[in-house]
Structure 1
Amino acid sequence: MVGVHGTFYSSSHELKIPPRDLETLQWLLESYLPDEFLTKAVAEAASGGRLDVLEWLWANHRSRGYWGAMEVGQAVRNEHSAVVAWLRGHTVPRPESAVKLVKDAVCCGDLTTLQWLIEHFDDDNFEDMNRTLGLAARHGQWDVSRWIVEN
């Protein structure tokens, strides 16, 4: 997996690679770890704002990991808006991640992501909107609070 600071690791490997060196990552995955499950690599790429890595993983190794979970929240929390927009356009949020993703979107004031999540989940997948409203207010996310009240 690729760490935020360019460390590549799996259960048995830890190698340093330059953080912007996608070619090295491609070579390592295809040459030495062709069966590695890449969910954590996806999350690390999103957390670090590495849209190039996400696009390559999606195009070449989409089935080797889960998408629509922790990587969305990490990109939201780290304010990587281009990555968040790309993930919204390419992934479907996982139901088991609904509560955490809604909290991340609300706490960070990401109204577009909150709306995207609500489109994909029914009310049973996350806490009631009154609690969500309270969370938005506690974090000073007034645009999100206003939207919740109006909708």
Structure 2
Amino acid sequence: MEQPIVANTIASVAPLASVELLCRHVCADVLGVPDAVQLISDFADYSCPPFWTMPRACEQRQLQIAKRLVAREVACAVPVDPFHCMSLFNDALGFAVDAVADVDDPSDEGMALVRWLCHDYCPQGYAVLPLRRAASQGKLKVLEWLVEHHVLVIWSDVYANAAASGGHLSVLEWFLSHDVLSSEWINASLEDACSGGHEEVVEWLLAHGAAEFFASLNNAVASGHVNVAKRLVEHFGSDAMSPMIPMLVAAGGNRVDALEWLQGLLPEVMGSESIMDAAGGNGHMEALV
């Protein structure tokens, strides 16, 4: 009869403290038989798959479970594929970034996970998702920490887009000052900032040369951000507009405020069959009126 795999592969994983405590109070004699304590611990330990994975442990802010997962990997006869480990690292670090509340607080659970993942779990992993999460949430100190302490960073304009989408001007300013973006980054960021209605970010991007008018205007109208749409028209001029598309976007999304504004700007377009179809096809009676 084959021996249980658990007994052979995870013997180096220390027994759970809760199991040792239980044995001490319920059956002290068991403590004298280490193998028995180990087997009880292995049976009760939910740090083993499929109950826990590295990303899930970090999502739940369970550093101790994450460490036990690594101990199991080390004890296993079959090594973990390094590329699989890098993939787990990317996802896990993304969740850890989500959990960070204060980079400078030694007791911050999220930062404890971030430090452990970068220094101990997978120093060779690439921080792609984590940087995007940090940018989208405006966590500039986390982003700076990752760049300073985890050298394997792949720069992408996606990070700037995420910051613009979240309205985080300080992050955009950091990216620009560190010269880590391509020459084409600014227009996509303007589109995302307009979708989010972030007027301060839109103003900053326009001042720095953003030139994508049509998609940005449509995004602002589709999201109901009339003030942003007005600022775009003021900046680029109404003569540069393609009048029908914003109308169709507003009608299809039941953006009545945007429709009323566009009607005043382009009265000759209102009442067209295509605009009525766009509103009626989606059941938007307010836009029809």
5 Å-filtered alignment, 1:2-151, equals 7=59, 11-12=87-88, 14=92, 17=96, 18-20=99-101, 21-61=110-150, 63-67=152-156, 69-94=157-182, 99-107=187-195, 108=197, 109=199, 110-116=202-208, 118=210, 129=213, 131-132=214-215, 134-135=217-218, 138=221, 139-140=225-226, 141=228, 142-149=230-237
CA RMSD of aligned residues (A): 3.4
Unmatched 5+ residue regions in structure 2?
1-54, 62-84, 102-109, 239-289
Displacement of 1:51 in angstroms is 1.0
Distance 2:155 2:216 in 1: 29
- Secondary structure class of the residue paired with 2:123: coil
Displacement of 1:97 in angstroms is 5.1
TM-score (structure 2 length as normaliser): 0.39
Paired residues in the alignment total: 136
**Counterpart code for 2:204:** T
- Judging changes above 3 Å, is the alpha-carbon distance between structure 1 residues 103 and 38 closer, same or farther for their aligned structure 2 residues? same
Distance 1:93 1:106 in 2: 20
Contact 1:46-1:72 within 8 A present in 2 as well: yes
Q: Matched residues, percent identical?
A: 22
